[in-house]
Amino acid sequence: MTIMDLQEEDFRPSAARLVESLRDTGYSEKAAFADIVDNSIAANATKISIELQYLMGEFRVMITDNGEGMTDPELKNAMRYGSDKRPNPKSLGKFGMGLKTASTAFCRRLVVLSRKEGSNAGRSWDLDTICEKDKWELETPDHDDYYEDFESLEAFAGDAGTMIIWEKIDRLVKQGSDKQVVKQIKALGKELKDELSAVFFKFLAAGEVAIYIKIIDEPVIQLKGWDPLCAGLVTASNARPQLLKEKAVHVLLDDKQHGFTIKGSLIPSQNDLNAEEQAAVRYGLDNQGFYIYREGRLIWHDGWPHRMYQKESKITRLRVVLDFTHELDDVFSIDFRKSRVIIPIDVRKELQSLIAPWRQALLSAQSKRKDSKGSDTGIPRHDPANNAIGKQDGHTKNAEIKVNGELVTIRNQNQPQPVPLPDIRVYGDRTVRVHEEDSLSGDSLWEPSCDTVGNTCVTLGRSHPYFAKMYNVCKYSDEAVKALDMLLWSLANAEHGEYSEANQHTLKGFRHKVSETLRYLSLELPDPKEDVE
């Protein structure tokens, strides 16, 4: 047969070229794992195990479930690209492509072992074989080669379940020494724990499924669902998220009205969260914005939809959950990876109008806080620094200060025996670390102080010309003010850490010299009356 005859009579694509092309459909590592877990949930699994195994230089991924399992004919259908449509339209699997494309995006050999009614079945795609023969040759793996895997499947799932195995993995980790590969696998495992706990939050929270992850030789971890709205959070400082009322949105599709809902949350500010709580709520610029769920599965969480808002620190606390069903797949242009969402312009505009009051309320609250005035203690603009400094007491304390009536003593590495600390201001409010006074000795910008329980504080002199100018320059940024406050407090803290009877005058002279230099440098800053942004 000539090339022309082939073109006229046979339009089948080259298996070798097509299977390589399908590796580049845009799957991320996390989306690929989520797609496999989708299949398990669709098969009514109640428990799913993910194992990242590295043994004798070989990296394997095994995802096992106790779902309905498959007979050999059913397994052959599942391995076919574009497998039969599932009868349940709510199924997370939609196009019959996910198992294959998600897997071979990162490995060159996909093995599927399954049990149903106590009988075993196994099939595999090997990309190297397909490319060598340029033929879709579905293999039957040797039972002896996978004897231990079949045993593990039976032990985990009983009479029915499925195990997905990725072999010849060439894209999940980079080549390197065993130590380098292990480090990458462990980092991948951590990312998967975070991602899957968010993607399947609703299934995990409802107790519909349990997901376990084992990373090489580490103990097995059972995932806990992560709620982006943090609805049940109560912090150590008794701060709670502000949950925003659910709103309904209606769209017209095929001359029928369909609807979905949005609801929001203003999570506590960073200053109300300790380090552990910040990690728990995943506080950060990248985690603001929309969390879009299809049939209970999180499919998109990349900030704000196109042309709605930009990611910005002012609205880091605002999160919005959008829930829709399979009936609106066409409205949101869902692809087979189920990780792309395109919101039509009319829907996007309606969403923006609904969210605008939430965003404005957050910005207004911040503005009021920035514009408010206070006394010499408890000034609102210093609240972020007060909280941040208090959280790190265990790591930053470098002097022991005791207050006994009018007598204040200090002991540190340079001063083993307690000595009096003369002329130090003592404040009664133990929650405030940054204070202000009209003027300080020598017209310094700052001086060390303390509270009644011996915590180091810093007192700032309002009469120093640098004081008003630096806070004016930063008046629209809480984080900039916090950074300045922490720097000045650290200077005070360092002075307490280095203080001794012998060098007390040197430390005081250093403080005065810095303040004098800043007096001249402040001439290069705009005057407070100017509206600086």
pLDDT, one tens digit per residue, over 513-532 is 999 999 999 989 888 654 43
Last residue of a domain, one of 169, 187, 222: 222
pLDDT of residue 271: 77
Banded pLDDT at 159 (limits 50, 70, 90): very high
Q: Are residues 444 and 412 in the same domain?
A: yes
Q: What is the mean pLDDT of residues 4-10?
A: 56
pLDDT of residue 309: 85
pLDDT of residue 474: 84
Label residues 333-363 b or e (16+ Cβ within 10 Å = b). ebbbbbbebebeeebeebbeebbeebbeebe
Q: Assign residue 126 the CATH number of its domain.
A: 3.30.565.10
Q: Are residues 217 and 328 in the same domain?
A: no
pLDDT of residue 100: 92
Q: Are residues 416 and 520 in the same domain?
A: yes
Q: Do residues 472 and 526 touch, judged by C-beta distance below 8 A?
A: yes
Q: Do residues 124 and 50 touch, judged by C-beta distance below 8 A?
A: no
Q: Are residues 170 and 206 in the same domain?
A: yes
Q: What is the mean pLDDT of residues 157-182?
A: 95
Q: Classify residue 398: in a domain, yes or no.
A: yes
Q: Do residues 488 and 511 touch, judged by C-beta distance below 8 A?
A: no
pTM: 0.70
Residue 113 sits in which domain range? 10-222
Banded pLDDT at 441 (limits 50, 70, 90): confident
Q: Classify residue 513: in a domain, yes or no.
A: yes
pLDDT of residue 89: 56
Q: Do residues 224 and 245 touch, judged by C-beta distance below 8 A?
A: no
Residues near 420 by beta carbon (within 8 Å), at least 6 away in sequence: 407, 408, 409
Could you tell me which of 236, 228, 317 has the C-alpha nearest to residue 272? 236
Q: Do residues 171 and 199 touch, judged by C-beta distance below 8 A?
A: no
pLDDT of residue 473: 85
Query: Which residue would you say has higher pLDDT here, 89 or 303?
Result: 303
pLDDT, one tens digit per residue, over 75-116 is 999 999 876 665 555 555 555 577 899 999 999 999 999 999
pLDDT of residue 532: 34
Separation CA 37–CA 24 (nearest Å)? 20
Last residue of a domain, one of 297, 327, 362: 362
Separation CA 258–CA 317 (nearest Å)? 30
Q: Are residues 261 and 315 in the same domain?
A: yes
pLDDT of residue 531: 40
Q: Classify residue 281: in a domain, yes or no.
A: yes
Query: Which residue would you say has higher pLDDT here, 150 or 330?
Result: 150
Q: Classify residue 370: in a domain, yes or no.
A: no
Banded pLDDT at 11 (limits 50, 70, 90): low
Q: Which amino acid belongs to residue 33?
A: F
Q: Are residues 300 and 167 in the same domain?
A: no
Q: Are residues 349 and 409 in the same domain?
A: no
Q: Are residues 471 and 508 in the same domain?
A: yes
Interior angle at CA 532, CA 526 and CA 533, nearest 5? 145
Q: What is the mean pLDDT of residues 498-505?
A: 93
Q: Are residues 84 and 217 in the same domain?
A: yes
Q: Are residues 156 and 266 in the same domain?
A: no
Could you tell me which of 63, 83, 64, 65 has the C-alpha nearest to residue 73? 83
Label residues 17-51 b or e (16+ Cβ within 10 Å = b). eebeeebeeebebbbbbbbbbbbbbbbebebbbbb
Q: How far is CA 525 from the centre of its chain?
A: 38
Q: Are residues 341 and 404 in the same domain?
A: no
pLDDT of residue 61: 98
Last residue of a domain, one of 187, 222, 257: 222
In whole numbers, what is the pLDDT of the chain averaged over residues? 88
pLDDT of residue 277: 92
Evaluate if residue 142 carries a pLDDT over 70.
yes
pLDDT, one tens digit per residue, over 55-83 is 999 999 999 999 999 999 999 999 998 76
The residue with tokens 């692809």 is 335
Domain count of the fold of the chain: 3
Banded pLDDT at 376 (limits 50, 70, 90): very low
Percentage of residues in the chain with pLDDT exceeding 70?
A: 91
- At residue 282, φ and ψ (nearest 5 deg) are 55, 55
Q: Classify residue 480: in a domain, yes or no.
A: yes
pLDDT of residue 48: 98
Q: Classify residue 384: in a domain, yes or no.
A: yes
Evaluate if residue 24 carries a pLDDT over 60.
yes
pLDDT, one tens digit per residue, over 216-230 is 999 999 999 999 999
Q: Are residues 248 and 209 in the same domain?
A: no
Q: Classify residue 3: in a domain, yes or no.
A: no
Q: How far apart are the first and last CA of the chain?
A: 75
Banded pLDDT at 354 (limits 50, 70, 90): very high
pLDDT of residue 479: 87
Residues near 169 by beta carbon (within 8 Å), at least 6 away in sequence: 59, 60, 61, 106, 107, 108
pLDDT, one tens digit per residue, over 248-291 is 998 888 778 889 999 999 999 887 888 899 899 999 888 999 99
pLDDT of residue 372: 39
